[in-house]
A and B are shown apart, each in its own frame.
Chain A
Amino acid sequence: MNNIRRIAGAIWILLGIAAAYFLIVEQAIPLFAKGDMESLVPAIIYTFILSPIITGGMCVFGLYALQNEYEL
């Protein structure tokens, strides 16, 4: 079971990268492209606040899992 926990770490890292793609490419860039002030706020929040938290958090979690930090 600890092996599964460890290997799954790679999946969490990939999911973190996928989340960044979704937040930046699918959400933020179209909003930046609109150019109006109203769209700018969510675009900035997606890029500079949500992406680092979600992607960074998920990747670090995956890394810890790969390092066997969550062994039970």
Chain B
Amino acid sequence: MVWSDFLQFYCLKISKNNEIISNLDFHVLVIGIVGLRHGFQPMNTTMLQHEKSESFDGNKLRKVIAASSVGTLIEWYDFYIFGSLSVIIATKFFPSDNPTAAFLSTLATFAAGFVVRPFGALFFGRLGDLLGRKYTFLVTLLIMGFSTFAIGLIPSYSSIGFLAPILVLTLRLLQGLALGGEYGGAATYVAEHAEPNKRGLRTAWIQTTASLGLFISLLVILATKKSMSLEAFNDWGWRIPFLISIVMVGISYFIRKNMDESPLFAQAKQEGKIVANPLKESFGKKLNFKFVLLALFGATMGQGVVWYTGQFYALSFLQKVANIEFEQSNYIIAISLAAGTGFFIFFGWLSDKIGRKGIMLAGMLIAICTYRPIYQAMYELADVNLKTEKANSRQVQTDYHMIDGTVTLSKVTRTIYSYTDGTQLLEEKTEKVSHLPSIQREKAVLKKTVHVGQHAFWMLILLVFIQVLYVTMVYGPIAAFLVEMFPTAIRYTSMSLPYHIGNGIFGGLLPAVATYLAAKANTANEVAAAAGQSLPYAKPYLEGLWYPIIIGGVCFVIGLLYINGKDREIND
């Protein structure tokens, strides 16, 4: 073969496909030319074609990543808008004065994350290992899209009574089920298409979707809120984020529908390597089950708490502990997420170069060592006791409202304090005023809302961004890590369960346990103060962090001791 034959082959190939030469073709061409110049014999046409079919088509891979990531992103978006709008949903569907509705609300909150998500992982994981990845994650997408859209259509409790909360609960459980099945399918599908040396980079796109889903849900909610009055949003506008989901799901469905089955699964099926009972194979055999446990306790458990702390606890801390107003706290999280999301890709790529274990464990270790100083700094940035109030700037306004059906007035006193750094504190004191002595004795309700100045605002973004960086370190490489732990025949089932237990259960417990720890510290301080003793907790607002610190610490030690960071072969 001579130069002309070699180039002719490529020219024919380019003209046949009638498209611009791909990066891969170009690299092979350059390597071929360089090789010829150095006297090597080029491959013959058959060999090159074989090489091409064995290699990884860049365009196809991009489509695979896009189809998988967009669908997963939409599923996260759908899952988060329910959480972000939970206060409005509660008022519309779960009135707190009705105990049964309140019970259904608690069930929706707890069951969707703790019970249904892991169950969805088992149910769809099994289907994915039996029928294929593509059809399974098409089904999860449709279930999620339908449930989200339908929530936006349900009439309120005042219109249809108990049917409303029951329908919302059912649809929320369906959302949890779909989410449980989606992630494992998307990660497995991308990993089984990816080049072996770029699996971390390719699957990192799937890892961006959870943060981007939260980011987009916050943007859509903020944009919808901005576009109408608060009354209109509370009345019907909250339905818009749910309803527009159907458009995104429709687009994603058609993209996914036209994709091929994963090559490794197709090959396993062709060779008759599909197992009849993936659940039994994954969890009934010690050989596989020990790795499921290792994936859970050595990786996803710590990753789950780092992820929940960086994205959800940070928001909750800003709003409930630092008292920062709803809109500003959401902007802080949204900007930090937008700035940090690229690092999922970076750490995914880096994990292909230096290994997954080191990056994930380093992220966990740095996170657990720095959480307390970071949250202390966040608290101080919003603490008005550390700021200087502007002279003669205090504004006081008092309103009286008659409480329906009573002879009682509600007195609301709003005081705005302004500080030299641009921070404003709105103190709203609500008390009942009546000639009846029993009502006069009731304690006034005090609500504080802080709007921090520019410097504090950007410093808070930096502090949350640092936490998002930790999230990207532990979360960026984890899809590739999990995929590489299990064989093709049981991969979907085996990786989905530890992922959803780690995130849904260990991560999902964070708000409840952190609140419990902080409340316990506050109670102990109150008891000590009442007894005239010194306070046992100097910083009770930081006590909730012990949960991610302890869980992350245990996971770090298990990961360090037991995980073998070298084995990266998935083609069994």
Contact = CB atoms under 8 A, between A and B. Distances in A.
Interface of A: 1, 4-5, 8, 12, 15, 26-27, 36-38, 40-42, 45, 49-50, 53-54, 57-58, 60-61, 64-65, 69-70, 72
Contacts of B509: 50
Most B Cβ at <10 Å: residue of A42, A57, A65: A57
B297 A50 contact: no
B516 interface: yes
A12 B558 contact: yes
B176 to A, nearest CB: 13
A64 B286 contact: yes
B505 A53 contact: yes
Nearest to A40: B103
Nearest to A27: B516
Interface string B489-512: 000000000000100011001001
A8 B294 CA distance: 14
Nearest to A30: B516
Contacts of B115: 45, 49
The 8 closest A-B CB pairs, nearest first, are A37-B103, A61-B293, A70-B562, A41-B106, A64-B290, A38-B106, A69-B290, A38-B102
B110 A41 contact: yes
B559 to A, nearest CB: 12
B149 interface: no
6 contacts: A5-B561, A37-B103, A49-B115, A58-B297, A69-B290, A70-B562
Interface residues on B, range: 20 to 34
Contacts of A61: 290, 293-294, 297, 558
Interface string B551-564: 00010011001101
Given A49-B115, A60-B293, A38 B505 contact: no
Given A5-B561, A12-B558, A64 B293 contact: yes
Contacts of A41: 103, 106-107, 110-111
A57 B293 contact: yes
Nearest to B113: A45
A28 B564 CA distance: 37
A55 B562 CA distance: 19
A49 B114 contact: yes
Given A37-B99, A37-B103, A38-B103, A4 B114 contact: no
A72 B290 CA distance: 13
B100 A37 contact: yes
B512 A42 contact: yes
Given A38-B103, A42-B106, A45-B115, A4 B290 contact: no
B452 interface: no
A10 B505 CA distance: 24
Nearest to B100: A37
Contact of B99 (A26, A27, A36, A72): A36
Contacts of A60: 289, 293
A58 B564 CA distance: 19
B501 A53 contact: yes
Contacts of A26: 516
Contacts of A57: 293, 296-297, 501
